[in-house]
């Protein structure tokens, strides 16, 4: 093997690139030294020219190697990011399943263990809001601090993504859960904010049956306010948004079209009872008991439905 061919073979290795370039310079310097010494022979000129051409070709090949290596490194980084994303998506799906089963503490542990960047995403934050709410609901004393924490996470989720329907929905739910612990002025303020946020959630995702349920509950509660209470609220606090029991019915019927659930039927029974439509109310109680539970609160809805079947006879 000639020194030149050995040199070229070594030069094709990425780690030898610096050495290769140094030898290239040496070739050029040597060539000019020959010229200074009286001039090279035609054979020497030819050999040097050929060597320099090989240098150019190898330099070009090394540049292509650099580009390919850079592209491969970018592919590796993208693949790693995708794998991390898939792991986070899998973790969040597990959280959803745990929450639907009432395993709130386990869901919270998974959310707390997420990488820092993932834990600050809207998808993670609204699930944190939901988990804090579910933990508050499961508490014997309905922990108001957990509902306040749920509000905090929901607001943070909205800041991250203004088009996240789940974030607006869980903010409305968290505010509604706090209302029983609030004074009259705060309840009036929260009433308008609850309606505004749940309507925004429906606007962003008109196929979310739970959002229709939440808005229906709002109409059911606010429409029950007496005229005196409304007048007082208007004079002192600027009033409350308009609400109607008929709108509560319409929203529940829409929710049932999307997904027939225990919660929808039970709340529709209550609406019909308020409207003095007793037979329809009893039918909704019957349907409530036939449907499967899809989230923890529906267990309590079924228990209440059984009691109401007896008390409404």
How far is the C-alpha of 37 from the C-alpha of 43, rounded, in Å? 16
Among the ranges given (31-45, 119-133, 154-168, 180-194), the one the predictor scored with the smallest mean pLDDT: 31-45
Task: Print burial letters for 198-235: b (CB count within 10 Å at least 16), e (below 16).
Answer: bbbbbebbeebbbbbbbbbbbbbebbeeeeeeeeebee
Residues 6+ apart with CB under 8 A from 275: 245, 249
Rg of the chain on CA atoms, in Å: 35
pLDDT at 174 over 60: yes
Residues 6+ apart with CB under 8 A from 268: 249, 252, 253, 256, 284
Among the ranges given (101-115, 235-249, 250-264), the one the predictor scored with the smallest mean pLDDT: 235-249
Mean pLDDT value across residues 16-37? 57
Q: Model's pTM, two decimal places? A: 0.73
Mean pLDDT value across residues 203-208? 98
The per-residue DSSP string of the chain comes to --HHHHHHHHHTSGGGHHHHHHHHHHHHHHHHHHHHTT---HHHHHHHHHHHHHHHHHHHHHHHHHHHHHHHHHHHHHHHHHHHHHHHHHHHHHHHHHHHTT-HHHHHHHHHTS-HHHHTSHHHHHHHHHHHHHHHHHSTT--HHHHHHHHHHHHHHHHH-TT-HHHHHHHHHHHHHHGGGS-HHHHHHHHHHHHHHHHHHHHH-TT-HHHHHHHHHHHHHHTTS-HHHHHHHHHHH-------HHHHHHHHHHHHHH---HHHHHHHHHHHHHTT-HHHHHHHHHHHHHSPP-STHHHHHHHHHHHHHHHT-
* Phi and psi, residue 37, nearest 5°: -80, 5
What would the two tokens of residue 272 be?
């019909």
Among the ranges given (174-183, 186-195, 235-244), the one the predictor scored with the smallest mean pLDDT: 235-244
Mean pLDDT value across residues 165-189? 89
How far is the C-alpha of 190 from the C-alpha of 180, rounded, in Å? 11
Mean pLDDT value across residues 19-48? 57
Residue 14 — left, alpha, or beta (φ > 0 → left; ψ -120 to 50 → alpha)?
Answer: alpha
């Amino acid at each position: 093997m000639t020194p030149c061919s050995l040199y070229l073979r070594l030069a094709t290795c990425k780690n030898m690139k610096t050495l290769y370039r140094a030898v290239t310079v040496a070739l050029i310097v040597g060539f000019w030294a020959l010229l200074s010494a009286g001039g090279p022979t035609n054979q020497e000129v030819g050999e040097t020219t050929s060597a320099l051409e090989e240098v150019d070709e190898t330099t070009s090949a090394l540049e292509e190697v650099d580009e390919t290596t850079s592209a491969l490194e970018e592919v590796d980084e993208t693949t790693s990011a995708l794998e991390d994303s898939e792991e986070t998506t899998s973790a969040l799906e597990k959280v959803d399943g745990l929450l639907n089963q009432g395993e709130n503490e386990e869901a919270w542990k998974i959310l707390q263990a997420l990488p820092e960047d993932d834990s600050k995403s809207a998808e993670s934050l609204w699930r944190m809001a939901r988990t804090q709410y579910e933990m508050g609901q499961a508490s014997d004393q309905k922990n108001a601090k957990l509902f306040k924490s749920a509000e905090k996470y929901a607001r943070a989720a909205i800041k991250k993504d203004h088009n996240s329907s789940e974030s607006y929905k869980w903010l409305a739910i968290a505010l509604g859960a706090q209302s029983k612990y609030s004074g009259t002025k705060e309840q009036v303020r929260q009433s308008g904010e609850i309606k505004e946020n749940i309507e925004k959630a429906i606007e962003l995702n008109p196929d979310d049956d739970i959002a229709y349920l939440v808005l229906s509950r709002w109409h059911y509660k606010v429409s029950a306010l007496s005229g005196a209470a409304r007048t007082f609220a208007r004079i002192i606090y600027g009033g409350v948004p308009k609400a109607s029991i008929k709108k509560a019915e319409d929203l529940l019927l829409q929710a049932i079209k999307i997904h027939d659930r225990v919660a929808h039927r039970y709340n529709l029974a209550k609406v019909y009872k308020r409207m003095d439509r007793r037979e329809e109310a009893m039918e909704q109680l019957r349907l409530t008991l036939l449907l499967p539970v899809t989230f923890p609160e529906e267990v309590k809805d079924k228990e209440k439905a059984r009691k109401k079947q007896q008390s409404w006879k």
